[in-house]
C-alpha cells in the first residue's frame, strides 16, 4: 500500500510485487497428466506427423467449436499463411491495423498486400463500411480479427464479401471461448484461425488451428500443412511444414481439459477488475456491447481516458516499476511498423480511430496465475496514481529532464 507519491517504485520506493506479474502468464493444466501423455508418446515412438494426440486435439476442437474441420498447426501465423495459400489469394487483402503484426506479416509472407482499414470506434473490430471504401479490382479477401475475443461484424463483412466476390477469413487467435447467440466462433467465413500460443487461454506451448465447414478447402489446408503430400511419394501441391508435434498436441489436450477452470479464473478476475476500476477516474474497461455474446474474458483491456490525469504511457512506466507487466497491445499499429511504415504513408490519416485507441489502450494481467489479491493490488496502484496524477506527472517530468 502506498501512502506517498515517493513510495512509488518509479521514484525509488519498494515495488508492489517482488516478481513480475506477467500480462500473458500461461495457464497450465494437470502436469501429471501432461507428463503421462508425453511418456506414452515416447513409448509409442510416434512424435509428430499426424499422430494420435493431434487427431484427438482436432476432434475435441471440432466438438468444442461445432465446426466440421479443425486442422492444428505449428502456430496461428503459419495457419494464416496456409489459409491464404489454400484460398489462392492474390493482390490486396483488407485487414485492420489494430491487430498483432502476425496477421499482416502472414499475408505479406504470401506476397499479398495488406490494406489497412479502420475499425469501428465502439467494437474496435474491422468496420465493414470503411472496408467497402477500400475494395479495388485487386482486392481478393477481407481478414477480420475478433480482437480480444470481441467478435467481428460477421454479417456485415459477409455481405460486403458477397457483393464483391471476396473471400473472408477471421483471425480468431483471441476468441476461443467466444460465442455469439450460443454459437462458438469458428465456423464463419471461408476459414477461421486460432492461436494456442503459451499466452492464450488454451495453449499448446506454440500452436494454431484452421477451422472451416468447407471440406474441400480443409483438404487443401491439410495437404499444404504437410508439404503437399497426398500419399507416400505423391506430392500434389505446394506445401510447407506446419505440422503440430505430439508434445504440443498433448499440452493442447491437457489445456482443453482445464479450459472451464481457466475461463472461470478469467471471469472472476474480470469481475473484480470491473468492480475496482469503476471507481477510478478515466479507467474504462473495454467491453463492447454485443447482443448475446459470451466471452472467455481472456484479456483485461482498459482505455485510459483524459480523466485519469495521467497518460497511458505514464501509467505503463509506473506499473512497470512496480513489477506489473502491463502492455500497450498493439501499439503503434501495424501501419506504423516495418515493412508497412515505409510503404504506404497515406494510411495514417484514414486510421485516426485506430491510432486514438492505440494511444490509450492498456492490457492488464489476468489468467489462472493472477490472483484476486494481485488484481486488487494492481487496481490500488491505478487508484493511487490517478488520485495523485498532478504530483506524479510533475515528478515524472522532472526526472526525465534531469541530466543522466
Q: State the minimum distance, in angstroms, from the CB of residue 350 to ligand T4K.
A: 21
To ligand T4K, the closest distance from the beta carbon of 277 in angstroms equals 20
Of 2, 167, 197, 220, the one binding ligand T4K (CB under 6 A) is: 197
Q: How far apart are CA 293 and CA 183, in angstroms?
A: 9
Which residue in 103, 255, 269, 295 binds ligand T4K (CB under 6 A)? 103
- Cβ proximity to ligand T4K: between 102 and 117 the closer is 102
Pick between residue 173 and residue 211 the one whose CB is nearest to ligand T4K. 173
Which contiguous run of DSSP H or E holds residue 278? helix 259-278
Part of the chain binding ligand T4K (CB under 6 A), chosen from 43-51, 73-81, 253-261, 266-274: 73-81
**Residues 6+ away with beta carbon under 8 Å from 303:** 284, 285, 286, 357, 360, 361, 362
- 119: contact with ligand T4K by CB under 6 A: no
Interface residue with ligand T4K, options 37, 126, 145, 249 (CB under 6 A): 145
Rounded least distance, CB 326 to ligand T4K, Å:
9
* Shortest Å distance, C-beta 102 to ligand T4K: 4
Closest C-alpha among 37, 48, 42, 45 to residue 225: 48
Answer for which of 16, 27, 69, 75 binds ligand T4K (CB under 6 A) is 75
Backbone phi and psi for residue 73, each to the nearest 5 degrees, phi listed first: -140, 180
Please report whether residue 198 would count as binding ligand T4K according to CB under 6 A. Answer: yes
Residues in contact with ligand T4K, shown as a per-residue x/- string from 206 to 225 under the rule CB under 6 A: --x-----------------
CB of 43 to ligand T4K, least distance (A): 27
Contact criterion met (CB below 8 Å) for 103 and 55: no
End-to-end CA distance of the chain: 30
The residue among 76, 326, 362 whose CA lies nearest residue 202 is: 76
**Phi, psi dihedral angles at 15 (to 5 degrees):** -60, 145
Q: Which of residues 263-282 bind ligand T4K (CB under 6 A)?
A: none
Q: Is the dihedral of CA 20, 23, 27, 28 positive or negative?
A: negative
Cα distance between residue 280 and residue 386, in whole Å: 7
Please enumerate in sequence order all residues whose Cβ is within 8 A of that of 232, keeping only pairs 6 or more positions apart, or say none: none
Closest to 328 in 3D by CA, of 313, 348, 340, 318: 313
Among 171, 303, 314, 322, binds ligand T4K (CB under 6 A): 171
Closer residue to ligand T4K in complex, CB, 75/266: 75
Total site size for ligand T4K, rule CB under 6 A? 23
Contact residues for ligand T4K, defined by CB under 6 A = 22-26, 75-77, 99-100, 102-103, 145, 171, 173-174, 195, 197-199, 208, 325, 329
Amino acid at each position: 500500500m502506498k501512502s506517498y507519491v515517493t513510495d512509488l517504485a518509479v521514484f525509488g520506493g519498494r515495488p508492489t510485487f517482488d516478481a513480475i506479474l506477467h500480462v500473458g502468464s500461461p495457464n497450465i493444466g494437470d502436469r501429471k497428466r501432461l507428463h503421462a501423455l508425453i511418456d506414452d508418446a515416447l513409448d509409442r515412438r510416434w512424435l509428430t506427423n499426424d499422430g494420435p494426440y493431434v487427431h484427438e486435439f482436432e476432434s475435441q476442437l471440432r466438438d468444442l467449436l461445432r465446426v466440421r474441420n479443425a486442422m492444428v498447426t505449428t502456430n496461428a501465423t503459419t495457419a494464416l499463411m496456409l489459409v491464404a495459400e489454400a484460398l489462392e489469394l492474390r493482390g490486396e487483402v483488407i485487414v485492420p491495423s489494430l491487430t498483432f503484426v502476425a496477421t499482416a506479416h502472414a499475408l505479406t509472407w504470401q506476397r499479398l498486400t495488406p490494406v489497412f482499414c479502420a475499425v469501428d470506434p465502439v467494437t474496435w473490430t474491422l468496420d465493414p463500411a470503411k472496408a467497402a471504401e477500400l475494395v479495388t479490382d485487386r482486392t481478393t479477401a477481407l481478414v477480420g480479427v475478433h480482437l480480444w475475443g470481441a467478435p467481428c461484424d460477421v454479417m456485415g463483412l459477409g455481405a460486403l464479401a458477397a457483393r464483391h466476390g471476396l473471400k473472408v477469413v477471421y483471425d480468431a487467435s483471441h476468441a476461443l471461448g467466444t460465442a455469439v447467440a450460443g454459437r462458438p466462433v469458428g465456423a464463419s467465413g471461408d476459414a477461421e484461425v486460432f492461436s494456442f500460443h503459451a499466452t492464450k487461454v488454451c495453449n499448446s506451448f506454440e500452436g494454431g488451428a484452421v477451422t472451416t465447414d468447407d471440406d474441400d478447402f480443409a483438404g487443401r489446408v491439410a495437404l499444404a500443412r504437410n508439404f503437399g503430400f497426398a500419399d507416400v511419394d505423391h506430392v500434389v501441391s505446394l506445401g510447407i511444414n506446419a505440422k503440430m508435434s505430439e508434445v504440443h498436441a498433448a499440452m493442447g489436450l491437457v489445456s482443453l481439459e482445464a479450459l472451464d477452470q481457466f475461463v472461470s479464473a478469467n471471469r472472476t478476475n474480470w469481475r473484480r477488475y470491473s468492480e475496482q476500476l469503476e471507481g477510478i477516474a478515466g479507467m474504462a474497461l473495454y467491453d463492447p456491447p454485443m447482443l448475446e455474446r459470451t466471452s472467455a474474458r481472456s484479456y483485461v483491456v482498459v482505455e485510459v481516458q483524459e480523466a485519469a490525469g495521467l497518460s497511458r504511457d505514464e501509467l505503463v512506466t509506473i506499473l512497470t516499476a512496480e513489477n506489473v507487466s502491463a502492455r500497450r497491445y498493439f501499439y503503434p499499429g501495424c501501419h506504423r511498423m516495418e515493412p508497412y511504415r515505409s510503404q504506404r504513408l497515406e494510411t495514417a490519416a484514414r486510421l485516426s480511430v485506430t491510432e486514438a485507441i492505440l494511444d490509450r489502450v492498456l492490457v492488464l494481467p489476468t489468467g489462472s496465475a493472477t490472483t484476486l489479491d494481485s488484481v486488487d493490488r494492481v487496481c490500488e496502484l491505478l487508484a493511487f496514481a490517478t488520485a495523485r496524477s498532478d504530483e506524479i506527472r510533475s515528478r515524472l517530468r522532472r526526472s526525465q529532464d534531469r541530466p543522466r
